[in-house]
Amino acid sequence: MIRSFIEVDSESHFPIQNLPYGVFKPTEKNEEPRVGVAIGEYVLDLSALDDAGHFSSTAVHQTKVFHQSSLNSFMKMGRETWKAVREVIQRLLREDEPVLRDNPPLRDRAFFLQKEVNMFLPVEIGDYTDFYASKEHATNVGIMFRGKDNALMPNWSHLPVGYHGRASSVVVSGTDIYRPQGQIKPPDASAPMFSACRQLDFELEMGCFIGSGNQLGQPIPVDQAEEHAFGMVLVNDWSARDIQAWEYQPLGPFLAKNFATSISPWVIPFEALEPFRVSGPEQNPKPLPYLRTDKPGSFNINLEVYLKGKNMQEAQRLSASNYRYLYWSIAQQIAHHTITGCNLNAGDLLASGTISGPEKEERGSMMELAWRGAEPIQLRDGERRVWLEDGDELAMTGWGQGDGFRIGFGEVTGRILSAQQINK
């Protein structure tokens, strides 16, 4: 197992085997955001490595893509470049490689403690698509919204159901979330009313960032789909269930999810996830040929959700799920998305939809955990929850467990603020 000269705890999310990309700026300095990778407790500034000429063997040399405030330009360069850059960084960080290790001035310029930087949204997101790829989640929601007999729509087993999400309100981990307001219609009301959301929820998801896109009119075949995928993040797709229940027919969720979606700041490259590649659930009925592939398309990634109410001493785990439960793979999502000729661009985000497992404690949303209010969740310090309350802090985390190392996603957090006054 390769090791870095930077000390990395065996439970750290960011060993030399990971090397996720992010956009950061030293908190105390008035400098421009730029691209770095996480290593242990540090950020390695790629713009500093570039300035020192260390990427001269790769296509990023003289492009200044690491001096930019988003990963998009780098993502557009394609997998060969991503691989070459990753190899350079991994080599420079090895314990037996003196070039960076034994260059104190460069180390001073290039390393920052993660706790001393601000992280930004790593990608300028063009379009955001949200799938609905967990059978357990779709079934749970279906039962609650439409009853047991219509829970899973007939199309669900034949195609990765998805919809267009709102890209402008995707925010980076740590951004506070205002409780949304809008129209709701309680079951016993004769007419809708204006209200702050009373059924605010989280959704445990993961997202895939598209790197290299396709031309309009040119579908991406399923066997080539993963080549277009740059990396992954954790996603919390905040949801207003009461707004959703009233608005979603017939065109799908709109305001129920347009107020915020939070993502983790570090984009984990697909190369780092290879040790955790597994087959997803068996697909029955067999998908149509354009969705069929023999390559295992899922990943064994542990996922957890924690909640800390404002009166709680510490966060408490609400859910423990796993990415591998997802029925539809990223390759299938990409092939389906583009089969009409729809073009994907660098920076597009494809989220998985809520990732629920078969067990109750593996459910990925509050709605499922508390069964739409019917089964309140008992927490420490006398707290109970059926929905999220003002002041609640939600944190999601995820990692693949290797032999003596972890490939982690860090976390995506967000705190609920009370609804804003409307100027009317």
Q: Which residues are catalytic?
A: 137
User: Is residue 222 close enough to count as binding its own copies by CB under 8 A?
Assistant: yes
Which of 346, 369 has the CB closer to its own copies? 346
Least separation in angstroms between residue 424's CB and its own copies is 5
Burial class (CB in 10 A: 0-12, 13-18, 19+), 277: middle
User: Is residue 306 close enough to count as binding its own copies by CB under 8 A?
Assistant: no
Which of 105, 289 has the CB closer to its own copies? 289
Residue from 348, 362, 392, 411 that binds its own copies (CB under 8 A)? 348
Bridge partners (DSSP) listed for residue 130: 163, 351
CA 216, 274, 394, 120 torsion: positive or negative? negative
Q: Is 205 annotated as a binding residue?
A: yes
Alpha helices in 227-317 (DSSP H): 241-247, 270-273
Largest CA distance in the chain: 73
Q: Is 203 annotated as a binding residue?
A: yes
User: Is residue 250 close enough to count as binding its own copies by CB under 8 A?
Assistant: yes
Q: Is 50 annotated as a binding residue?
A: no
Contact stretch for its own copies (CB under 8 A) within 139-147, 270-278, 365-373, 401-409: 139-147
Which distant-in-sequence residues (6+ apart) come within 8 Å of 319 by Cβ?
A: 204, 303, 304, 305, 361, 362, 363, 364, 369
User: Is residue 299 close enough to count as binding its own copies by CB under 8 A?
Assistant: no
Nearest C-alpha neighbor of 262 from the set 389, 366, 175, 166:
175
> How far is the CA of 416 from the CAs of 8, 196, 260, 353, in angstroms?
33, 12, 11, 21
Contacts (CB under 8 A) with its own copies, residues 186-205: 191-194
Cα angle value 378/381/384 (rounded, 5°): 30
Q: Is 327 annotated as a binding residue?
A: no
Residue from 153, 189, 274, 310 that binds its own copies (CB under 8 A)? 153
Least separation in angstroms between residue 145's CB and its own copies is 7
Contacts (CB under 8 A) with its own copies, residues 74-133: 126-127, 132
One DSSP character per residue, 19-86 reads --EEEEEETTS----EEEEEETTEEEEHHHHHHTTTTTTSTTTTT-GGGSSSSHHHHHT-HHHHHHHH
Q: Is 354 annotated as a binding residue?
A: yes
The rounded distance, in Å, linking the Cα atoms of 212 and 229 is 7
Q: Is 348 annotated as a binding residue?
A: no
Least separation in angstroms between residue 325's CB and its own copies is 19
Least separation in angstroms between residue 59's CB and its own copies is 24
Beta strands in 138-228 (DSSP E): 162-165, 170-172, 177-178, 181-184, 193-196, 200-201, 204-210
User: Is residue 158 close enough to count as binding its own copies by CB under 8 A?
Assistant: yes
Question: Which letter, b or e, does each residue of 317-348 get, where b requires 16 or more Cβ atoms within 10 Å of its Cβ?
Answer: ebbbbbbbbbbbbbbbbbbbbbbeebbbbbbb
Contact stretch for its own copies (CB under 8 A) within 61-69, 210-218, 270-278, 393-401: 210-218
Contacts (CB under 8 A) with its own copies, residues 385-424: 420, 422-424
Burial class (CB in 10 A: 0-12, 13-18, 19+), 233: buried
Q: Is 146 annotated as a binding residue?
A: yes
Contact stretch for its own copies (CB under 8 A) within 43-51, 150-158, 323-331, 383-391: 150-158
Q: Is 325 annotated as a binding residue?
A: no
Q: Is 176 annotated as a binding residue?
A: no
Q: Which two tokens stand for residue 408?
A: 């982690």
User: Is residue 310 close enough to count as binding its own copies by CB under 8 A?
Assistant: no
User: Is residue 180 close enough to count as binding its own copies by CB under 8 A?
Assistant: yes
How many residues sit in the footprint of its own copies (CB under 8 A)?
Answer: 70
Contact stretch for its own copies (CB under 8 A) within 50-58, 101-109, 177-185, 356-364: 177-185
Which DSSP helix (H) or strand (E) runs through 8? none
User: Is residue 167 close enough to count as binding its own copies by CB under 8 A?
Assistant: yes
Bridge partners (DSSP) listed for residue 36: 22, 45
User: Is residue 162 close enough to count as binding its own copies by CB under 8 A?
Assistant: yes
Asked whether the beta carbons of 247 and 183 are under 8 A apart, the reply is yes
Residue from 94, 143, 145, 320 that binds its own copies (CB under 8 A)? 145
Q: Which two tokens stand for residue 343?
A: 């073009």
CA 308, 419, 237, 201 torsion: positive or negative? positive
Contacts to its own copies by CB under 8 A: 126-127, 132, 142, 145-146, 153, 155, 158-159, 161-169, 171, 178, 180-183, 185, 191-194, 216-219, 221-223, 240, 243, 246-255, 258-260, 285, 288-290, 336-337, 339-345, 348, 420, 422-424
Q: Which residues are annotated as a binding site for Mg(2+)?
A: 237, 257, 261
Q: Which residues are annotated as a binding site?
A: 130, 132, 146, 203, 205, 237, 244, 248, 257, 261, 354
